[in-house]
Amino acid sequence: PKYTSVIVGSTLGAIFGVFLICAFIILGFRKGFQEVEEDCLDNMLGMPTRFSYEELKNVTKNFSNKIGEGGFGSVFHGTLPPGSEVAVKHLVGFGAVNKSFVAEVQTIGSINHFNLVSLVGFCAEKFNRLLVYKYMANGSLDRWIFNKSQESALRWQIRKKIIIDIAKGLAYLHEGCNQKIIHLDIKPQNILLDENFNARVSDFGLSKLIGRDQSRVVTAMRGTPGYMAPEWLSSVITEKADVYSFGVVVLEILCGRPNVDKSQLEEDMHLLRLFRRKQEEGQLLDLVDQCNDDMQSNATEVVEMMKVAAWCLQNEYARRPSMSAVVKLFEDSNDVVSNLNEDFLNGLTWEIVGSFASQVSPSILSGPR
């Protein structure tokens, strides 16, 4: 029994020793892998400025001013020396977020367009993953178009410019990048406005990238209810899903209300159904935002723009225009409807609205700026 106890004890000790050695090897491997991964980020072409975690703690005053929150983390206001304002997105969930972080840094770091939110820098330090964006002084579009105050209501020319800016940003994502980028979540909360009300598309770094030789991609359903194209039901998605969402946003800008407004009567709750009914009744003028006299004074031109929205809202994605075609339409003629030679309203989707209708929650970059 004595020798048996010694043998058992020795065996258990050996097993424990092997376990400790394996644990140290695994931990060392993970640490080495993490260091290699972080070094690779520094060596990637087109990478923006890399900050330390301590630097960003100072920039955000210890993350004291939260301005937004979403599924991947929170957004904080910060100030870089000598005084430029930034929005710092602190990502959470290391395992899942890591791939998204690398994708976003690579994607946004290589993209430079006036109508896309600029990535200033990033942090990849131990378990901390942060993204630093240019701060947009006038915040997200929803706070301006859904605000019923006459003092803050946007004039028609500003709204028109915002629509054109969004179209240009999306056209660049779809056709101007090395890889076609589908945003998949276009909504007012993801359109940010600078101090001069120039519109910039945000939150596109976590979108789906597909090669230029691919015409479509099968992906899991994502996006925001109310802005999702009907083809989401089949999970066959092209950049035309963004075109559909753009059409919804255009209507919201023109009408000054969300696509689902539960404060309205039931028959008027869904904007697209209301739009269809007013078109059939020849009363589209009724939909023009009544928050200020300027919109009413330009009501005829506003209705013309509604027809561009209808063009983008076709049920069959093949019938929708490309975003570059929409931009060309705006640039070629002030009378945008003169180039539309088809009754696009006949192909609109209506039942899809009821399936996806819900209140919109702000995205990670859509907090007040």
Rounded-to-integer distance, Cα 317 and Cα 228, Å: 12
Mean pLDDT of 34-39: 49
Exposure string over 334-349, b if 16+ CB within 10 A, otherwise e: eebbeeeeeebbeebb
DSSP string, 130-199: EEEEE--TT-BTHHHHS---TTTPPPHHHHHHHHHHHHHHHHIIIIISSSEEE-S--SGGGEEE-TT--E
Rounded-to-integer distance, Cα 242 and Cα 167, Å: 10
- Flag whether 208 is marked binding: no
pLDDT tens digit sequence for 246-278: 999 999 999 999 999 998 998 999 999 999 999
Structure tokens at 143: 């706070």
CB 229 within 8 A of CB 241: yes
> Which residues are within 8 A (CB) of 154 and not within 5 positions of it... i.e. 6 or more apart?
144, 145, 162, 197
Catalytic residue positions, numbered: 185
Residue 54, pLDDT > 90, answer yes
In order of start, what are the domains of the chain with their CATH numbers? 49-134 (3.30.200.20), 142-356 (1.10.510.10)
Q: How confident is the model at residue 283 (pLDDT cuts 50, 70, 90)?
A: very high
Rounded-to-integer distance, Cα 339 and Cα 298, Å: 20
pLDDT tens digit sequence for 284-308: 999 999 988 999 999 999 999 999 9
pLDDT tens digit sequence for 122-139: 998 878 889 899 999 999
For the chain, how many residues are written?
Answer: 369
Give the least confident one: 41-55, 317-331, 332-346: 332-346
CA nearest to 200, candidates 106, 118, 82, 297: 118
Cα 347 to chain centroid, rounded: 27
